[in-house]
Amino acid sequence: MGEGKRILLVVSGGIAAYKCPDLVRRLRERGYGVRCVLTQGGAQFVTPLALGAVSGDTVYQDLFSLTDESEMGHIRLSREADLVLVAPATANIIAAMAAGLAGDLATTVLLATDKPVMIAPAMNVRMWEHPATRANVTTLRNRGIGLVGPEAGDMACGETGMGRMSDPNDIVAAVDGFFRNAGRLAGRKAVITSGPTFEAIDPVRFIGNHSSGKQGHAIAAALAHMGAQTTLVTGPTAQPDPSGVSVIHVRSAREMHDACLEALPADIAVCAAAVADWRVADEAAQKIKKGANAAPPSLTLIPNPDILAALAAAGNKRPRLVVGFAAETENVVENATAKRARKGCDWIVANDVSPSTGTFGGDANAVHLIDGEGAESWPLLSKEAVAERLATRIAERLEEATP
């Protein structure tokens, strides 16, 4: 699998660093070339001698070492790899990466690299759950940095919870997955909708909904990582624009509809937006005043265009694979199967959004993928994992369809 691929492994200072010689050995067994950068903290848990022996290469440790720099300048070090893997990735190195700090060789390499980066976080559960770490991880994800783990379990510090570094086998599987999927959708075009729509009542008021845009943005990012030329048409959200994606910001359903149809032709369309079904018939040109004793205004609503149905009925511009979402609170599979037929799309990703699941606005999603053959239930996954799985399925489907 890994023949000819080079991995730069950055080992930072967590107890899980003791697993790194095993990780290096397994990567090399798969054919990957591995070169290591060891931080000062990392060297407290694993010796450069051990990493050097298993990698068969020099272990680089010091930014200001004449030997290291003359042998392999840090810029070259950052560029001569197909993937930079940080394992274990401590809360500290994650924070430094998010902030763009370059205080030692490892962080300098990470700031200077133009190669894909994957991290395997490892830290105490409280550190993992701290808002600072949550925000830093989100920043890294939005920059397109891949995550493997962490896992839940007992920790070296005696506590139990999320924060254990993934098993070396799982890290190797994630690395294999990265190389298998890289470029898999090259030459394909994708249009994704995400977020809510805002339907104006007057210049200051609107009808909207609570969609966070997390799932749609994650799908756009996952398709772009696999090489698809991706256009994300999004309503107003707090999500940053995913890297490598061309983003069109809209407000209303009609704007979203027009932007999507203009983005055709495309091979893939995924409608993850929570589009308002109705808009106000007569949007007031001026702010509606309460007046002295005026009665509350009554609003007449009219239907919005159905973007998913329009993409599925776009004639010779119809994307080869049109995927919709269904937010259901009961009879999830049954309702979503009927929705697939009604909208004319190929697949429906159905999720249970009853308030008890925390899906709406939350980070995880329990979904069923519905196609012409039936329904497949996926386990509870993070929205990023749902996005990656969906992107992989899309790639498989298009590969099948291409003679």
Choose between 179 and 278: whose C-beta lies nearer to ligand CTP: 278
Cβ 224 vs Cβ 242: under 8 Å: yes
Q: How far is the CB of 363 from ligand CTP (least distance, A)?
A: 20
- H or E element in which residue 217 lies: helix 214-225
- H or E element in which residue 333 lies: helix 332-343
Choose between 318 and 339: whose C-beta lies nearer to ligand CTP: 339
Instruction: Specify the pairing of strand 33-38 against strand 6-11.
Output: parallel
Spatial distance between the Cα atoms of 26 and 29, rounded to a whole number of angstroms:
5
Give pairs for 124-130: CB < 8 Å, separation 24+: 124/155, 124/157, 124/159, 124/163, 125/155, 125/159, 125/160, 125/161, 125/162, 125/163, 126/159, 127/91, 127/163, 128/91, 128/161, 128/162, 128/163, 129/161, 129/162, 130/91
Binding site for ligand CTP (CB under 6 A): 193, 253, 271, 273, 275, 277, 304, 306-308, 324-327, 339
Of the listed 157, 260, 271, 345, which one is catalytic?
157
Q: How far is the CB of 149 from ligand CTP (least distance, A)?
A: 31
Choose between 277 and 376: whose C-beta lies nearer to ligand CTP: 277
Radius of gyration of the chain (CA): 24
Cβ 276 vs Cβ 199: under 8 Å: yes
- Does the annotation mark 157 as catalytic? yes
Q: How far is the CB of 364 from ligand CTP (least distance, A)?
A: 18
Residue 297 CB neighbour total at 10 angstroms: 13
Q: How far is the CB of 389 from ligand CTP (least distance, A)?
A: 17
Spatial distance between the Cα atoms of 369 and 371, rounded to a whole number of angstroms:
7
Choose between 193 and 337: whose C-beta lies nearer to ligand CTP: 193
Q: How far is the CB of 260 from ligand CTP (least distance, A)?
A: 8
Catalytic annotation, residues: 157
